[in-house]
Amino acid sequence: MWVTELMNNQSSLSVVIPIYLRNQEDFNFLKRTLDSVAAQSFPPSEVILSNDSASNFDLQLKNLANLYQTLNIFIVKNLAKQGISTNTNNGISIAKSKYVQVLHQDDWLCDVDFYRDLEKKSFVTEDRYIFLPWRRLDVSYHPNFDLTSLLGNNRMGGPSGLIFPSESLVFFDERLSMLCDVDFVFQLYKKFGRPKVFERVVLEYGVSDGQAQNHISQEQFIEELNVIFLKHRPNRWKILVIAWLKYKPDDTYAMVKNLERLENSFLLGLFIKVVVVYSRVLSRFRRILT
């Protein structure tokens, strides 16, 4: 009975796909993503392609939209290159449904009943925002969020692994690229509290040379960290203690070194140095033993 009820109602989900087509491989990735959406037993109400690509792909995209007529595809074309955050925001801003998923062009859905069960279980109970377990290169991951995410310790997955309400009025910070998803989730966390985690793996993350993390310098990374810490002013002591007590020495060292690169008080800076040395020594000692 509930299947019939679902099919008689419109989906509560808009899918926003920010696209950056440079070559035929990127276009093939996008088609794989759309194939996975089209295969859903309960499709979304709309698919918005926010297009930051060169104009020579316009005809291909139009033909692609005609190929997937059941998906109710809208194409938003930027007049000039906007970048990852602005391009994504352009799609979110016109989404008409109650919830939004930002599905990147090289990621895809690996469970055909995902949107059906999302509608039946999560949307009915009005979960505020939802993390999705995912798989990459045949390894499954369970999303986890804590304050160390602000230091680049992203264990929650990328933007594709997030469902959020369109009425939240949360957007990606246009000053950020590598850490835009970290900032976005932290905005949701401050507004709604901790997320709900979906019950099973439903998403596959692709691996490609065009991903942002492959093209960001250390200097830009630190610059984005500064933007986030000036914007949100999180408790640095709390972040440091979580990094120290919760994670392995190698991970702690990487996170605390990032915190060390920011401007800190004298006392915090001193304690950071102690944790950096401690985690590095402990890490090397463990390697010797193994």
Mark whether 210 and 239 lie in a shared domain. no
Mark whether 147 and 258 lie in a shared domain. no
Domain with 271 in it: 235-289
Residue of 168, 162, 165, 167 whose CA lies nearest to 198: 162
Mark whether 273 and 203 lie in a shared domain. no
Task: Give the predicted TM-score (pTM) of the model.
Answer: 0.89
Secondary structure of 72-134 as H, E, C letters: CEEEEECCCCCCHHHHHHHHHCCCCCCEEEECCCCCEECCCCHHHHHHHHHHCCCCCCEECCE
Mark whether 135 and 10 lie in a shared domain. yes
Name the maximum alpha-carbon separation found in the chain: 64
Model pLDDT, residue 64: 86
Model pLDDT, residue 2: 39
User: 225 with 258: CB under 8 angstroms?
Assistant: yes
Domain end call among 165, 183, 214: 214
Mark whether 130 and 159 lie in a shared domain. yes
Is residue 199 assigned to a domain? yes
Mark whether 86 and 193 lie in a shared domain. yes
Is residue 278 assigned to a domain? yes
Model pLDDT, residue 5: 45
One-letter identity of residue 5: E
Is residue 225 assigned to a domain? no
Residue of 180, 182, 15 whose CA lies nearest to 109: 15
Mark whether 36 and 115 lie in a shared domain. yes
Model pLDDT, residue 286: 77
Q: pLDDT tens, position by position, for the chain (290 residues)?
A: 334 345 457 899 999 999 998 888 888 999 999 999 999 999 999 999 998 887 778 888 888 888 998 899 999 988 888 889 999 999 999 999 999 999 999 999 999 999 999 999 888 777 789 999 999 988 999 999 899 999 989 888 889 999 999 988 899 999 999 899 999 999 999 999 989 999 999 999 987 665 555 567 889 999 999 999 999 999 999 999 999 999 999 999 999 999 999 999 999 999 999 999 989 888 887 777 76
Model pLDDT, residue 10: 82
Mark whether 154 and 247 lie in a shared domain. no
The CATH number for 148's domain is 3.90.550.10
Mark whether 167 and 270 lie in a shared domain. no
- At residue 259, φ and ψ (nearest 5 deg) are -65, -35
Model pLDDT, residue 208: 65
Is residue 6 assigned to a domain? yes
Is residue 221 assigned to a domain? no
Is residue 253 assigned to a domain? yes
Is residue 223 assigned to a domain? no
Separation between Cα atoms, residue 89 and residue 184, nearest integer Å: 11
Mark whether 106 and 249 lie in a shared domain. no
Model pLDDT, residue 125: 75
Burial class from Cβ neighbours inside 10 Å (0-12, 13-18, 19+) for residue 1 reads exposed
Is residue 224 assigned to a domain? no
Mark whether 183 and 241 lie in a shared domain. no
**Residue 91 has which token pair?**
């799609």
Residue of 218, 198, 97 whose CA lies nearest to 157: 198
Model pLDDT, residue 126: 73
Domain count across the chain? 2
Mark whether 280 and 172 lie in a shared domain. no
- Hey, which bits of the chain come out as E strands? 13-19, 46-51, 73-77, 99-102, 108-109, 130-131, 134-136, 139-141, 162-165, 196-197, 203-204
